[in-house]
Structure 1
Amino acid sequence: MQTPIEIAFKHVEPTDEIKELISEKATRLETFHDGITSCHVYVRAPHQSQKTGNLYEVTIEVRIPGHELVVRRDKDDQPEREHLKVAIRDAFDAMQEELKSAARKQQGQVKHHDGPLQGKIVEIRQEEGYGQIIATDNRLIYFHENSVVDGDFGDLAQGDPVEMVVQAKESAIGPQASTVRRIGGLEYDPGR
């Protein structure tokens, strides 16, 4: 790190043990990204709640060239956060994931999908108007007859290769395709 770690406490007694724990975890962050220029850690205990007790808020700000990464674990999270060491651990674990992701992006290791998701129909219920697709990423995707484009739902059969667009928000029955289109063949067949 180019600048020393900065630690700030609010409504929390800054014990040597906690300061040392934070310093160790901050130093360890450099193993996940070697371009860290600064790290600021804010530890705050909000007012006491009669139901859950003190739930600590831990915010970590890390700067790397071109980016500022921020992780905040606060009182709205799990009740385990009433233990300061757990709140610190969870916040640093989340920051490690952020740094790993940033390092992959910088090294160009981010996965790029070539075109729409593909799969093959594993179940079709013509009379009920729905079916299921096993996608090339091995997810089982539900689709409704209204999602079929460039063709007719009645023309589809089990085993047909398709490409699809999966809705960002999962429905109550799991992932659902917003559009399904029959194609010629699959580059990767999940059924083999």
Structure 2
Amino acid sequence: MQVDPQITYRNMEPSAHVEERIHERIAKLEEFHGRITSCRVTVEAPHQRGQKGEIYKISIDVEVPGGHVVVNREPGKNHAHEDVLVAIRDAFNAAQRQLEDHVRKTGGIHVKDHPPKTHGKVTDKFVDEAYGFIDAADGRRFFFRADSVNGQGWNDMEIGSQVHFTEMDGEMGLHAVSVTVI
């Protein structure tokens, strides 16, 4: 998972036991669908006056490449959900069913993640050797070759040109590939 799971409690104190169970269920979802990017879980114990027991409401928001799964288990009159662990079980079962539907609808095809583009400025260009250097906005310095520049960008590129590129780690340090002149 790219982002640590977020667990929120409403109208109740956080519980280590409940949190442990939620993490176990998230791990099971990840076994089924290994490309979950984020998961947010809300455990809510609504105020109920004059009724016996609290019926818990569980909300789960799971993001996967090419899709989004949202489970809002309204407590209704299901008194089995007076046990927070039963409510969690039922909500995560519903989330898994929705993930299964998502995989079926996409034909089992997972959308490829594209690495984020980094912004920078060309600081050195050695025409005869066909390479140069880019300083990223965060101060890091990247080596690049002329054949890493998209299209005719190498010919149009000057010192100070603004570029977008994909970062790579090389044997000699940071490299820029798929360099595009802005």
Q: After the TM superposition, which of the residue ranges 54-63 and 74-83 deviates more from structure 2?
A: 74-83
Q: Secondary structure at the match of 1:23?
A: helix
**CA–CA separation in structure 1 for the residues paired with 2:14 and 2:82:** 16
1:19 correspondence with 2:19 = yes
In 2, are the aligned partners of 1:52 and 1:79 still within 8 Å (CA)? no
Once the two structures are TM-superposed, the CA of residue 93 in structure 1 deviates from its matched residue by 0.5
**CA–CA separation in structure 1 for the residues paired with 2:2 and 2:107:** 21
**CA–CA separation in structure 1 for the residues paired with 2:55 and 2:65:** 33
Q: Secondary structure at the match of 1:60?
A: strand
Q: Secondary structure at the match of 2:25?
A: helix
Seen in structure 2, the aligned counterparts of structure 1 residues 52 and 73 have a Cα distance that, compared at 3 Å, is: farther
Once the two structures are TM-superposed, the CA of residue 9 in structure 1 deviates from its matched residue by 0.3
TM-score, normalization by structure 1: 0.53
Seen in structure 2, the aligned counterparts of structure 1 residues 14 and 108 have a Cα distance that, compared at 3 Å, is: closer
Seen in structure 2, the aligned counterparts of structure 1 residues 13 and 5 have a Cα distance that, compared at 3 Å, is: same
**CA–CA separation in structure 1 for the residues paired with 2:95 and 2:77:** 16
Once the two structures are TM-superposed, the CA of residue 74 in structure 1 deviates from its matched residue by 2.2
Code of the residue aligned with 1:86 in structure 2: it is V
Code of the residue aligned with 1:51 in structure 2: it is Q
1:103 correspondence with 2:123 = no
Output the aligned Cα RMSD: 1.7
1:29 correspondence with 2:63 = no
Tell me what 1:63 maps to. 63
Seen in structure 2, the aligned counterparts of structure 1 residues 75 and 49 have a Cα distance that, compared at 3 Å, is: farther
Q: After the TM superposition, which of the residue ranges 65-74 and 15-24 deviates more from structure 2?
A: 65-74
Q: Secondary structure at the match of 1:27?
A: helix
In 2, are the aligned partners of 1:46 and 1:75 still within 8 Å (CA)? no
Seen in structure 2, the aligned counterparts of structure 1 residues 57 and 21 have a Cα distance that, compared at 3 Å, is: same
Seen in structure 2, the aligned counterparts of structure 1 residues 101 and 70 have a Cα distance that, compared at 3 Å, is: same
Unpaired runs of 5+ in structure 2?
110-182
The structure carrying a bigger strand percent of its residues is 2
Code of the residue aligned with 1:60 in structure 2: it is I
**CA–CA separation in structure 2 for the residues paired with 1:45 and 1:7:** 14
Tell me what 1:87 maps to. 87
The percent of aligned pairs where both chains have the same amino acid is: 41
Tell me what 2:149 maps to. none
In 2, are the aligned partners of 1:43 and 1:56 still within 8 Å (CA)? yes
In 2, are the aligned partners of 1:55 and 1:74 still within 8 Å (CA)? no
Q: Secondary structure at the match of 2:12?
A: coil
Q: Deviations 1:17-66 (Å, cap 9, x if unpaired)?
A: 11111011011101222221100000011012423421100000000112
Seen in structure 2, the aligned counterparts of structure 1 residues 23 and 108 have a Cα distance that, compared at 3 Å, is: closer
